[in-house]
Structure 1
Amino acid sequence: ALVVAAAAPTLSVLIVASLAIGVLATIAQQAVPFAAELAPPSERGHAVGTVMSGLLLGILLARTAAGFVAQYLGWRAVFAASVVALLVLAVVIILRLPKSKPTSTLPYGKLLMSMWHLVVEHRALREASLTGAALFAAFSIFWSVLALLLAGAPFHLGPQAAGLFGIVGAAGALAAPLAGKFADRRGPRAIITLSIVLVAISFVVFGVSAKSIAGLVIGVIVLDVGVQAAQISNQSRIYALKPDARSRVNTVYMVAYFIGGAIGSGVGAAVWPVFGWVGVSVAGLLFAGLAAWNHLALQARTAND
């Protein structure tokens, strides 16, 4: 799929190849529940945080690498470089990845159907999924519009500069293992509450930083710390719900998570031409508000129960 994207003669072919890349690029989301399975319960949050920090560093630093490659070699070279990276990864997996045994004997079709029962059975899974989706929508709305902001006045910066913000965001990703440790010690709910507050603060900072690189840098760090800490804490929670179905629980969560990300990117594309950067910041703040409402509403329902 990456080869097709690199050689795409038309936008339609690139779109189809991009869809195939998204459908096939699931290994990162399989690695996270795998880590939770290997770790003892008392260290699960830390283990998930460690793997997630690697995953998030890859996501964020890929923006930096892609910015440099696209600036000097063109966008097609970005996909070609990804092919080489995947071949190296395949060798590493074959040589180094630990073995595991299946936790279920159900046929694949029934495994897929059972995920609906997990959604119905576990209220905490529904709440974590919606909270995660809302926060990732806020995250995506920022990153999808950042390059457009930097390309215009007063910055007039290219893709390389936008990619450099990935390095800034990497500072937030480094907080993931710490969030996992706190989730192990104090429980994930308090970390999620703090994370939502941080995401909301970041969009307030963004809203007043349309002409300030320093303000954008501060906002990126706060946003990434908030989103990553919430992600680790949410996953730590849901993996404890049904240990023999962690991959399926993770599938439910990540499907909702990426739907939220897609919605955020779409909202960003729609809001930017009409309301500009302030509109994008308000939309991100609203997504943080949705996460807060959902998180606190479940807490209130649990207390009443």
Structure 2
Amino acid sequence: MATGVTRSQRFVLALVCAVAVSTIYAIQPVLATAGSSLGLARGSLGWLVAAGQVGYFVGLVLLVPLGDVVNRRRLITVHLALTAVGAAVVAVAPNGAVAVTGLAIAGLFAVVVQVTVAYVAAVSAPNERGRNIGAVTSGVVIGILGVRVLAGVLGDTVSWRAVYALLAMLCVALAFTVRATLDPDRGTPGARYAQVLASMGRLVRTDRLFLSRGLITFLLFASFGTLWSGLAFPLGTDPWNFGTTQIGLFGLVGLAGALGAARAGRWADSGRAQAITGSALALLTASWLLIARTEATLWLLIIGIILLDFAVQAVHVSSQHLLTAAHPDQASSVIGAYMSFYSLGSALGAITTTWAYGTWGWSGSCWVGAAYSFAALALWGLAQATRIARPAAPDRARPLPVELAASNECCW
């Protein structure tokens, strides 16, 4: 039942998202330093990034659906505590195998982010859902990009391990804060875990909106991961030779672009989610033309990063708004299933960018990233063409969301 979200609760929930997701991405700006400390070869560094994403994928499938069955406030609290355990393991890891294990544990329970988004969607009034999701999701972007700055600074001044020790402590503190400040939310009455898992499978098989948005998100975050998992390589070599602090500061550039897309939730509330998606994907593809230019100046790269993160956030918020509006009684399982595409896409981007950079240099990584974003744009365009060609054949497997029905917007 929608009871609303206060400003202070939105802040706490955004902070939960920021800290939890940081445990997955903190390794990226210190990747080379951590790999050297842990005795890993350069060709294996992509697995330090992918480990968190693989753990995240498992958590999305198996843990997030619990939010439709049990008290989400309690689930958020427990997941934060267990995320702290994973971060602590990374902080003290003596070798690569232990570090990968800790990153996988942190990623597994960092799905508290999606439980949090589902909580917000469930307790928000319908006309405020997009705004609240956008506000809380901004915490995810702050975490993904802001932790790069923090990890870079700590990597140069203390140790790359220090950021994971700090994140572990923050997760514990937030677990207590959530318990004290959030209202309980007991999921969907009568829901059973096995039924929720089965419904996730049906979504993939039968729901065109879900499948379309999932595939777009897979490609969207493969492109995103290509940039942020590989950016440390060209910046750390000639002609720039930046240290981890300077590399981490590029997170502020991405943060500016991503926060600029905070209005995407309001635009989605007004029924413009499809237009936002197409425009943002075109912008994402074009941004790679600038990101590839790192030889003589960094200004083109900086502009490209701003555009890329703006586009990614705009598409991401619009997709979550559409899906939670279409399935208000299954917010946790829908978000969990949707974000599994995000996790797999991010892992793919992390692995392929290190391979492409080792084979063709930064230009090769950029071609890979642009290919992912163009494929997402093509998929969106194909869906729109299908709608125009078959206007009299609506998807009868599920009702249209209220805001889409009102605006006559296509379910794809």
Q: Answer yes or no: same fold by TM over 0.5.
A: yes
Identify the structure with bigger relative contact order (alpha carbons < 8 Å, sequence gap 6+).
Answer: 1
Deviations 1:10-45 (A, max 9, x none): 111111111111111111111112111222222221
The Cα of 1:77 is off from its aligned counterpart by: 1.1
Is the 8 Å Cα contact of residues 261 and 311 (structure 2) preserved in structure 1?
A: no
The Cα of 1:239 is off from its aligned counterpart by: 1.1
- SS of match in other structure, 2:231: helix
**Does 1:235 pair with 2:284?**
no
Q: Which residue of 1 aligns with 2:36?
A: none
In structure 2, how many angstroms separate the alpha carbons of the residues matched to 1:28 and 1:127? 22
User: Cα distance 1:111–1:276, how it changes in 2: closer, same or farther (>3 A)?
Assistant: same
- Percent identity over the alignment is 33
Deviations 1:32-77 (A, max 9, x none): 1211122222222111111111221122111111111111111111
The residue type equivalent to 1:13 in the other structure is V
Q: Which residue of 2 aligns with 1:95?
A: 180
Q: CA RMSD in A?
A: 1.3
User: Cα distance 1:104–1:115, how it changes in 2: closer, same or farther (>3 A)?
Assistant: farther
Q: Which residue of 2 aligns with 1:147?
A: 232
Deviations 1:120-174 (A, max 9, x none): 2210100001111111110110011111111101100011111101111111221
Q: Tell me the number of residue pairs that the alignment of Structure 1 and Structure 2 aligns.
A: 305
Which residue among 321, 339, 354 is the counterpart of 1:254? 339
Q: Which residue of 1 aligns with 2:288?
A: 203
Q: Which residue of 1 aligns with 2:252?
A: 167
- SS of match in other structure, 2:249: helix
Q: Which residue of 2 aligns with 1:54?
A: 139
The residue type equivalent to 2:325 in the other structure is A
The Cα of 1:189 is off from its aligned counterpart by: 0.3
In structure 2, how many angstroms separate the alpha carbons of the residues matched to 1:279 and 1:185? 39
- SS of match in other structure, 1:177: coil
The residue type equivalent to 2:247 in the other structure is A
Q: Which residue of 2 aligns with 1:31?
A: 116
Q: Which residue of 2 aligns with 1:83?
A: 168
Q: Which residue of 1 aligns with 2:385?
A: 300
Is the 8 Å Cα contact of residues 33 and 247 (structure 1) preserved in structure 2?
A: yes
**Does 1:267 pair with 2:352?**
yes
Task: Name whichever structure is richer in helix by fraction.
Answer: 1
In structure 1, how many angstroms separate the alpha carbons of the residues matched to 2:129 and 2:261? 13
- SS of match in other structure, 2:270: helix
- SS of match in other structure, 2:184: coil
User: Cα distance 1:262–1:246, how it changes in 2: closer, same or farther (>3 A)?
Assistant: same
Deviations 1:78-108 (A, max 9, x none): 1111111112211221111222122142321
Q: Which runs of 4+ in 1 moved over 3 A?
A: none
In structure 2, how many angstroms separate the alpha carbons of the residues matched to 1:71 and 1:226? 31
- SS of match in other structure, 1:167: helix
Q: Equivalences for 1:112-151 in 2 at 5 Å?
A: 112-151=197-236
TM-score of the two chains, using structure 1 as the length reference: 0.96
TM-score of the two chains, using structure 2 as the length reference: 0.72
Which residues of structure 2 form unaligned runs of 5+?
1-85, 391-412
Which residues of structure 1 form unaligned runs of 5+?
none
In structure 2, how many angstroms separate the alpha carbons of the residues matched to 1:206 and 1:53? 23
